[in-house]
Every structure is written in C-alpha cells, then in structure tokens.
C-alpha cells in the first residue's frame, strides 16, 4: 500500500509539471527535499519532475516571446506605417 501511495504522489507531480509547470516545480522540489529520506523513489522522481517543469517553463516562455513579440512588432509597424500616411 505504501508503494501505491508513493506512486500516486509521483504521478500527481508529473501531471502538475506538465499542466502547471511552476506548481510542478515547487511540488517536485518539496518531493525531492522533504520526502527523499522516507522513500528513495521520491528523490529520483522529484528531480525528474523539476527537470520536466523547468523545460516546460522555458518552452512556454520562448513560445510566448516568439508569438507575442511578433504580434507586438507587427502592431508597432502598422501603427507607425499609418502615421506616415497621415
């Protein structure tokens, strides 16, 4: 039964890391630093959960900078172009 409980926490950690990376990062850190003495499985998966969360945070930042930066650049160019026409 203890093994099922530990796997449930690990699965919850991965789900959080994928869908809400910042909370997944915190959960992975808590799992790694606070529970690693109780179950060695927590230390290993806590580290992996943090890695997944960090990778997804970086990817989401790059995507938002790419798309938002492109949208803002286009808006700035269109507003400056209309200023030349007036």
Structural domain includes residue 2: no
Neighbours of 11 (CB within 10 A): 11
Per-residue pLDDT, 77: 58
Residue 1 has pLDDT above 50, yes or no: no
Q: Which residues touch 35 (CB under 8 Å, ≥6 apart)?
A: 9, 42, 43, 46
- Count CA within 13 A, CB hemisphere, residue 58: 6
> How many domains are there within the chain?
1
- 15-67 per-position pLDDT tens digit: 999 999 999 999 999 999 987 787 888 889 999 999 999 999 999 998 888 87
Structural domain includes residue 43: yes
Domain that holds residue 48: 9-85
Structural domain includes residue 78: yes
Query: What Å distances lie between residue 54 and 17, 38, 41, 80, CA to CA?
Result: 8, 25, 20, 38
Residue 82 has pLDDT above 60, yes or no: no
Cα separation, 43 vs 21, in Å, equals 18
Six-digit token string for 17? 């890391």
Structural domain includes residue 50: yes
Mean predicted confidence (pLDDT) in 80-86: 52
């Amino acid at each position: 039964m203890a093994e099922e409980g530990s796997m449930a926490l690990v699965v919850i950690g991965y789900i959080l890391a994928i869908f809400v990376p910042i909370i997944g990062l915190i959960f992975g850190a808590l799992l790694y630093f606070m529970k690693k003495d109780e179950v060695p499985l927590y230390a290993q998966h806590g580290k992996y959960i943090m890695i997944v969360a960090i990778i997804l945070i970086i990817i989401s930042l790059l995507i938002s900078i790419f798309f938002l930066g492109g949208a803002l650049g286009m808006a700035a160019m269109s507003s400056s172009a209309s200023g030349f026409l007036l």
